[in-house]
Amino acid sequence: MRFSLIVATLGRSTEVQKLLESLDRQTHRDFEVIVVDQNTDGRLLPILRAFENRLELRRVESAPGLSRARNVGLRVISGEAVCFPDDDCWYPQDVLSRVNKLLTDNPGWQGIIGDSVDETGRPTLPWRDRAGKLTEPMSWRRALAIALFLRSKLIRQIGGFDETLGVGTGLLWGSGEDNDLVLRTLEAGVHMQYEPNVHVCHPRLFPVFDKSGWAKRYSYALGDGKLLQKHPMPLWWRLLFFAVPIGRAMGSLVRFNRKEAYFHWLTFKGRMKGFRSNNETDCAKVVFPLAASASEDERGYENAGLGRNTPLPALDPETEPRA
């Protein structure tokens, strides 16, 4: 099975190199890496040049926005399956081999969600689920795009990422694009499988109880609330969705941790605001088609392409950007 790996990247260099090094160690070799470059300074060119004879690389360009960039990449995939590693994650050497065997042995499975783990092998998410068919409540706990592997024919059927959700959209909703995609697969009635032994590595994200941490948490909570508006869940689930952060805030106050309590209060406030937002700032109600032509702000995703037979553009050694 051939894989297409879409890496949307902005502002990182050494992390991208670490990811590419991990891909070079994969035991399953039939894959392409589509690097969707949102940088304007050419910082990735020296890094990509070092791997152009070791990996099947293709560089395409996109304006900022995670969902927008991934959709640019989706329009040029050639693989039978597609995945979305972050630019700061890395792959264990057998992950593509594992997914290839699972999808080949189970033709009824249209996609797999694995686990995100840190450098010690510990899961980065707090919830634990058994391997099995993915459900909608599980999707709200497990949907991370970096651990998602989909058959390409499925994503062509349901469309790409919602470009009104996620970081870089210019809107309020700082998260939800990955869960939206997974929920749409479930609404299409296909079998999505959760496999906890399929690991993708990512740095551990500890909550930071300062202004930057509060702002990030609020932005993510707004996206979660907006997503609940787009994909309604049962009443019992909605009650838990809003009650849990209130309970955590109260627990933090009992421990006299006001900063942590404020973090959880912002989670509740953001979820509520996103859920109750009006249609003027609503999520997209249509699927983003993958066959559409590139918009002007994508700046031509064939520009400076880095396929196996396409050389890197020449750079002046005196002005070449450093990693």
Residue 317 has pLDDT above 60, yes or no: no
Q: How far apart are CA 139 and CA 181, in angstroms?
A: 10
* 270 exposure class (CB count in 10 Å sphere: 0-12, 13-18, 19+): buried
- Reported confidence tier of residue 212, pLDDT bands at 50, 70, 90: confident
Average pLDDT over residues 298-314: 34
Q: How far apart are CA 241 and CA 243, in angstroms?
A: 6
Residue-wise pLDDT tens digits, 103-121: 999 999 999 999 999 888 8
Residue-wise pLDDT tens digits, 239-261: 999 999 999 999 999 999 999 99
Average pLDDT over residues 295-310: 35
Average pLDDT over residues 210-234: 93
Q: How far apart are CA 264 and CA 183, in angstroms?
A: 25
- 93 in Cβ contact with 22 (< 8 Å): yes
> Which has more pLDDT, 295 or 93?
93
Contact residues for 153 (Cβ-Cβ < 8 A; gap 6+): none
Backbone φ and ψ for 126, nearest 5 degrees, come out as -80, -15
pLDDT of residue 121: 87
Average pLDDT over residues 174-186: 96
> Which has more pLDDT, 129 or 111?
111
Q: How far apart are CA 190 and CA 180, in angstroms?
A: 15
Q: How far apart are CA 178 and CA 166, in angstroms?
A: 8
pLDDT of residue 37: 96
Q: Crossing angle, helix 211-230 and helix 235-254, to 10 degrees?
A: 160
Residue 162 has pLDDT above 60, yes or no: yes
pLDDT of residue 2: 98
Average pLDDT over residues 56-82: 95
Residue-wise pLDDT tens digits, 268-283: 999 999 999 985 445 5
- Reported confidence tier of residue 51, pLDDT bands at 50, 70, 90: very high
pLDDT of residue 123: 86
Average pLDDT over residues 112-133: 90
Average pLDDT over residues 208-213: 86
SS3 state at 260:
helix
- Reported confidence tier of residue 208, pLDDT bands at 50, 70, 90: confident
Percent of the chain scored above 70 by pLDDT?
A: 85
Beta-strand ranges (E) seen in the chain are 3-9, 31-37, 57-61, 81-83, 109-117, 132-133, 148-151, 191-201
Residue 206 has pLDDT above 60, yes or no: yes
- 202 in Cβ contact with 147 (< 8 Å): no
- 236 in Cβ contact with 223 (< 8 Å): no
Average pLDDT over residues 88-99: 97
pLDDT of residue 319: 35
> Which has more pLDDT, 311 or 177?
177
Residue 286 has pLDDT above 60, yes or no: no
**CA proximity to 58, closest of 5, 122, 118:** 5
> CATH classification of 3-205+287-298 is 3.90.105.10, yes or no?
no
pLDDT, mean over the chain: 87
All CATH 3.90.550.10 domain ranges of the chain, comma separated, are 3-205+287-298
For residue 276, give the DSSP letter: H
Q: How far apart are CA 81 and CA 109, in angstroms?
A: 12
Percent of the chain scored above 90 by pLDDT?
A: 76
> Which has more pLDDT, 175 or 315?
175
pLDDT of residue 294: 41
